Structure 1
Amino acid sequence: MTSHLEHANFTVSDPDATAAWLCEVFGWEIRWAGPAISGGYTVHVGTPAGYLALYRPANPLQPGDDSYTRLGGLNHVGVVVEDLDTTEARVKAAGFLPHNHADYEPGRRFYFDDGDGIEFEVVAYDD
């Protein structure tokens, strides 16, 4: 039996706004939205095969420390795309600044940070 990642769950300031730009940039769809644990609210956004659960607690939280310097931190989320250049244009149109471009085997990539400080790696693999 082969395993695969079904979803990851993040705490964000505005699940609806985050889901909207994820749909625009990556062509994903909202799979579900509704009440969540402890009076919070969650939006599931992604594909039929996997998704990101975007959670907002009932009481707003403040951003934490840099994830790369804390044990258990989320360092980045990797998303594979077919057309890196088109996706980068969508990232810019969504108001985010791409950085750390790299071209090495097995593909090309760039990174960007969203409004909540979550870093995304966008990669297109060579065929």
Structure 2
Amino acid sequence: MPLEHINITVPDPKASAATLCELFDWHIRWQGEAKNNGFTVHVGDDESYLALYAPSYTLNPEAERYHHVAGLNHVGVVVNDIDAVEAQVIAAGYSRTDREDYEPGLRFYFEGPDGIEFEVVQYD
């Protein structure tokens, strides 16, 4: 079964969604009031999305990635033209951390909005 969505807590869902729409050619599927008097934006394509959620209270900083149970390590996004997406990522002010070509495809990583690491993958 395909994955439908992932829900991530961020400080400003609208700003994060705008950036991700620009980088990945996504669209806002839904936005509105959410749990704990918060606000959520669903951003993605027609098949899957990220739910970007902000509660009404002050958020605590993230624990170090890859070092705690149930931590979000990175979000993988499949693209058709990795070079074009990489150029958009760099133009938006983000730095690529790794670019690798191994089975099953070419990939690079970058730390995007809200410190979330993204893995961008193009399959042959």
TM band (smaller chain) = over 0.9
Q: Which residue of 2 aligns with 1:94?
A: 92
Whole-angstrom CA distance in 2 between matches of 1:84 and 1:106: 14
Identity of aligned residues (%): 58
Query: Is the counterpart of residue 52 in structure 1 residue 33 in structure 2?
Result: no
**2:8 aligned to which of 7, 10, 25:** 10
- Taking structure 1 as the reference length, the TM-score comes to 0.94
Shift >6 Å, 4+ stretches: none
SS in 1 for 2:3: coil
**1:84 aligned to which of 74, 77, 82:** 82
Whole-angstrom CA distance in 2 between matches of 1:105 and 1:17: 34
Give yes or no for contact 1:7–1:52 (8 Å, CA) kept in 2.
yes
Give yes or no for contact 2:19–2:113 (8 Å, CA) kept in 1.
no
How far apart are 1:60 and its partner, in Å?
2.3
Q: In structure 2, give the amino acid aligned to 1:50.
A: S
How far apart are 1:13 and its partner, in Å?
1.1
- Taking structure 2 as the reference length, the TM-score comes to 0.96
**Unpaired runs of 5+ in structure 2?**
none
Q: How does 1:48-127 map to 2 (within 5 A)?
A: 48-126=46-124
